[in-house]
A and B are shown apart, each in its own frame.
Chain A
């Protein structure tokens, strides 16, 4: 079974702090993803990475950055936390590379980090 581990289930930080969310997967997956999930808005992709040191912006990258120094670890960084970044953050990983026409592998999620910015 794929195991995706997020460093914290609950986190409380203050406005302006630099916040690090860590995610580790144990399946040697190329692709890793960070989402946030808010009521009524569903899952929104922040950033993803398809290889070490490679990253691509998702739908809502503003206010966030990421780091992928090792294949198994993908970090999400809130450079200067703001109250509108209070949310549930979900990390996911997926095998690849994906080839056109195939079924494609599903994504596996971590337990999530519920982050509150005060």
Chain B
């Protein structure tokens, strides 16, 4: 079983749609959670950190459910520029390294 699992997609949605991604993690000692975005042939870039109480950044909302060990990302009013691969990222315990999911591919269609 992978330590961080994501639905690979692809998710193809029309402009303006709301889309949600889920991610599950296996280690209950996980401490830090992030969503990264990766455009085609580019490096991953931090989209947002995920706080225990959930947090919002414009059209993006992240939620953490520690009991069920999953993280979600909600994108409202999708734009063409949101097309990318979204990576779920977890750090557990005192580990220095982050563990990345394989990513969920999103294509927003005109």
Contact = CB atoms under 8 A, between A and B. Distances in A.
A58 B51 CA distance: 27
Interface stretch (A62-70, A78-86, A94-102): A94-102
Main secondary structure of the interface of A (DSSP, over half): loop
B96 interface: yes
A106 B34 contact: yes
A58 B89 CA distance: 16
Given A42-B103, A90-B43, A100 B93 contact: yes
A74 interface: no
Interface string B78-110: 000000000101010111111011110000000
Interface string A2-18: 00000000000000000
Contacts of B65: none
Given A109-B45, A110-B43, A103 B32 contact: yes
Given A106-B46, A106-B49, A45 B97 contact: yes
Nearest to A6: B43
A75 interface: no
A95 B12 CA distance: 36
B28 to A, nearest CB: 14
A108 interface: yes
B26 interface: no
Contacts of A48: 96-97
Contact of B102 (A42, A103, A107): A42
A96 B91 CA distance: 13
Given A108-B46, A109-B45, A101 B31 contact: yes
A98 B96 contact: yes
22 contacts: A41-B102, A42-B101, A42-B102, A43-B100, A48-B96, A50-B96, A58-B97, A90-B44, A98-B94, A98-B95, A100-B31, A102-B31, A102-B32, A104-B91, A106-B34, A106-B89, A106-B98, A107-B46, A109-B44, A111-B43, A112-B42, A112-B43
5 residue pairs, one from A and one from B, having the closest CB atoms: A104-B32, A42-B102, A109-B43, A43-B100, A106-B46
Given A106-B89, A108-B46, 12 more contacts: A42-B101, A42-B103, A43-B44, A98-B95, A101-B31, A104-B32, A106-B98, A107-B46, A109-B43, A110-B43, A111-B42, A112-B42
